[in-house]
């Protein structure tokens, strides 16, 4: 059985790591370069770096920050935020990113997924999907969750796999920052309709939430931010707790 991955997420705005609740009310959580090194040293399996203002500000991900983070870590490193071209991805990979995460740009121009997969390989392409449950229907949102669409989460997930995505990073906007647990029912359904890894995001509050998303949600990886940034859940202790429950993790 493949090991389950624990993935800290660095949401970056104005050069700082930030964290909010339901995508709003952002507070400072520290220097992303310092945090990245800490996580690499403390047992994280991967890192995700999201320049959350890039799309809203109509610019690409800050290359300088990517370079600095990449110099500090020896684990896979995914970068997202404002990515809209093959040329931009090429620059990010040359700065040290291992994978890229695309979200709004993929919805606006789905062929971008095909182009990136063809140029760099499926394993390099993560499609992030921010979705909110509205009257029982999971709907995709763009630009850091600020723009609602009529696109249905599960339909879009099937399409991105067909187009060449290597992974899906699903964030439940309803659960984000609430610390009430992941959207396990939606995650389990996602896992049943696609054949690529699913990264669960949104809702981590305690160690059992991680176990639940691996067991009930069938997630392949679990991403979290504030519980790691503010020292509420030490990664090594989390992995030991998961192992006790029979969940395969790398320690």
- The CATH number given to whatever domain includes residue 158 is 3.20.20.70
| DSSP alpha helix (H) spans, 50-193 | 63-72, 86-94, 104-108, 111-120, 153-163, 184-193
Q: Where is mean pLDDT largest: 64-73, 188-197, 219-228?
A: 188-197
Query: Distance of alpha carbon 167 from its chain centroid, rounded?
Result: 10
11 part of the active site:
yes
Question: Residue written as tokens 């971008």?
Answer: 112
When pLDDT is averaged across residues 74-91 and rounded to a whole number, the result is 93
Residue 251 lies in a domain: no
Is residue 171 pLDDT above 50, yes or no? yes
Which domain covers residue 120, as residue numbers?
Answer: 5-244
Specify the pairing of strand 137-142 against strand 125-134: antiparallel
Phi, psi of 184 (to 5 degrees): -65, -35
Residue 70 lies in a domain: yes
- Per residue in 6-58, pLDDT tens? 999 888 776 666 655 444 445 555 678 888 898 899 999 999 988 766 554 55
Q: What is the rounded distance in angstroms from the CA atom of residue 103 to the CA atom of residue 93?
A: 18
Q: What is the rounded distance in angstroms from the CA atom of residue 249 to the CA atom of residue 114?
A: 32
User: In this predicted structure, what is the pLDDT of residue 148?
Assistant: 92
Residue 220 lies in a domain: yes
Locate the DSSP E strands across the chain.
5-13, 16-21, 24-30, 47-51, 77-80, 99-102, 125-134, 137-142, 147-152, 167-172, 198-201, 221-224
Residue 46 lies in a domain: yes
Residue 125 lies in a domain: yes
Q: Which residue from 61, 14, 78 is spatially nearest to 221, judged by alpha carbons?
A: 78
Residue 56 lies in a domain: yes
Question: Residue written as tokens 């390989």?
Answer: 121
Active-site choice (11, 45, 51, 176): 11
**What total of structural domains would you count in the chain?**
1
The chain-wide mean pLDDT, for the chain, equals: 89
Residue 250 lies in a domain: no
Is residue 234 pLDDT above 90, yes or no? yes
Integer CA distances (angstroms), 243 to 5, 123, 183, in order: 12, 27, 22
Active-site choice (45, 51, 130, 176): 130
Task: Give yes or no for a contact between 181 and 201, defined as CB atoms under 8 angstroms apart.
Answer: no
């Amino acid at each position: 059985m493949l090991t389950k991955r624990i993935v800290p997420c660095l949401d970056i705005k104005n050069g700082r790591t930030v964290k909010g609740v339901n995508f709003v009310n952002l507070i400072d959580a520290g220097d992303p370069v310092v945090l990245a090194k800490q996580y690499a040293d403390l047992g994280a399996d991967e890192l995700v770096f999201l320049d959350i203002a890039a799309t809203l500000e109509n610019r690409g991900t800050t290359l300088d920050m990517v370079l600095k983070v990449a110099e500090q870590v020896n684990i896979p490193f995914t970068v997202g935020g404002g990515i809209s071209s093959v040329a931009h991805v090429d620059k990010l990979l040359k700065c040290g990113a291992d994978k890229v995460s695309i979200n709004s740009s993929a919805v606006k121009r789905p062929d971008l997924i095909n182009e990136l997969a063809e140029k760099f390989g499926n394993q390099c392409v993560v499609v992030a999907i921010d979705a909110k449950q509205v009257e029982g229907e999971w709907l995709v949102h763009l630009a850091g969750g600020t723009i609602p669409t009529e696109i249905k989460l599960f339909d879009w997930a099937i399409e991105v796999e067909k187009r060449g995505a290597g992974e899906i990073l699903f964030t439940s906007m309803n659960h984000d920052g609430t610390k009430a647990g992941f959207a396990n029912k939606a995650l389990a359904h996602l896992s049943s309709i696609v054949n690529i890894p699913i990264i669960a995001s949104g809702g981590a509050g305690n160690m059992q939430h991680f176990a639940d998303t691996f067991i009930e949600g069938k997630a392949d990886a679990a991403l979290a931010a504030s519980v790691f940034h503010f020292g509420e859940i030490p990664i090594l202790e989390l992995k030991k707790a998961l192992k006790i429950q029979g969940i395969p993790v790398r320690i």
